[in-house]
Amino acid sequence: MGIKFEEADGPGPKRDLVGYGRHVPKVTWPNGARIAVSVVLNWEEGSEVGKNVVGDGRSEAALTEIPYVMDAQYRDLASESVYEYGSRAGVWRIQRLIDSYGIPITFFGAAISWERNPEVAAWVRESHHEPCSHGWRWEEPWLLSREEEQEHMAEAIASIERTCGERPRGWYCRYGPSIHTRELLVEDGGFTYDSDVYNDDLPYYVDVKGTPHLIVPYSFTYNDAKFVLPQGYSDPTSFFDTLKRGFDYLWDEGATHPRMMSIGLHCRIVGQAGRTSALRDFLEYAHEKGDVWFATRLQIAEWWHEHHHEFPVERP
């Protein structure tokens, strides 16, 4: 009788375990599409932690092909070369595939990555693709003070505007945000959305100190990171099958309640030819099935801002 569960009162957002619940809005996507598909290319190469970077003191070991972590006192040249594959070869294989289908994609791009490889920034400027900020570097924001995070955010915005020709209007941290990230985005005033959650199949609004702020959820499920994680897979057909099964189920649900699907890619992972072929097969399948809206996250966010009040909610 005396046991009590209470969420602590402190900084950061409160958890919402309910969301839309049983009363999912009946979304209308452009041209009556059953599903909106957001293809995201994570652009991190060159901005990762490195023993060769002043002040870092260690090499990066995350999301590579190598199941080995070198002692921090040594520079890990093998790991560096895995990242370099993404920026030298993988990104351009993906570019050829994506542009052959005319699909608009969103870059989750770290500012330093574009500075160190301006040719990729030129691709963004010349295309219909969206530069969403992935931070100043590919770094963990929760390790920064609020002031440091704000400084890094401002530098990322200015840098991306210089290299890509437009300021980012979306934000996605490495893995997850700090307790300050969302407040800082709203305080900046120039962001349309963030994608720092994995908790829904549709966009939704949150209140940030009295300001409505749009969330466009991301996904670790439909993500090529599964190729290099212990709980994942190594066979490209498993990647295709996961994408196809998810797409088909959401597409079926979309007959009455259209959905959104996020697909996460990395240049150094799916940019390997055998894996790119699985991505190609999925894009071909989705195009042939039809009733799909391939869109950037900014396009989805802008559509939601403009039309969300029109989406009916059916209640029993």
pLDDT tens digits, 187-244:
999 999 999 999 999 999 999 999 999 999 999 999 999 999 888 999 999 999 999 9
Task: Work out the pLDDT band at 4, boundaries 50, 70, 90.
Answer: confident
Of the listed ranges 61-70, 89-98, 115-124, 197-206, the one predicted with least confidence: 61-70
Q: Tell me what pLDDT residue 231 has.
A: 87
Task: Work out the pLDDT band at 54, boundaries 50, 70, 90.
Answer: low
Task: Work out the pLDDT band at 53, boundaries 50, 70, 90.
Answer: confident
Q: What is the DSSP string of the chain?
A: ----------SSPPP-S-TTTT--B----GGG-SEEEEEEEEE-TTSS--TTSTTT-S---TTSS------TTS--HHHHHHHHHIIIIIHHHHHHHHHHHT---EEEE-HHHHHH-HHHHHHHHHSS-EEEE--SSS--GGGS-HHHHHHHHHHHHHHHHHHHSS---EE--SSS--SSHHHHHHHH---SEE------SS-EEEEETTEEEEE----SSSBGGGGSSTTS---HHHHHHHHHHHHHHHHHHTTTS-EEEEEEEETTTTTSHHHHHHHHHHHHHHHHH--EEE--HHHHHHHHHHHGGG--B---
Fold classified for 30-309: TIM Barrel (3.20.20)
Does the global pTM surpass 0.75? yes
Q: Tell me what pLDDT residue 315 has.
A: 61
What are the two backbone dihedrals, phi and then psi, of residue 174, each rounded to the nearest 5 degrees? Answer: -70, 120
**Average pLDDT of the chain to the nearest whole number:** 94
Domain residue ranges in the chain: 30-309
Q: Quick one: what percent of the chain has pLDDT higher than 90?
A: 80
* Cα angle 81-139-226, degrees, rounded to a multiple of 5: 60
Query: Is pLDDT above 90 for 102?
Result: yes
Mean pLDDT of 7-21: 88
Distances (CA, A) of 194 to 110, 122, 201, 259: 15, 24, 15, 18
Query: Is pLDDT above 60 for 316?
Result: no
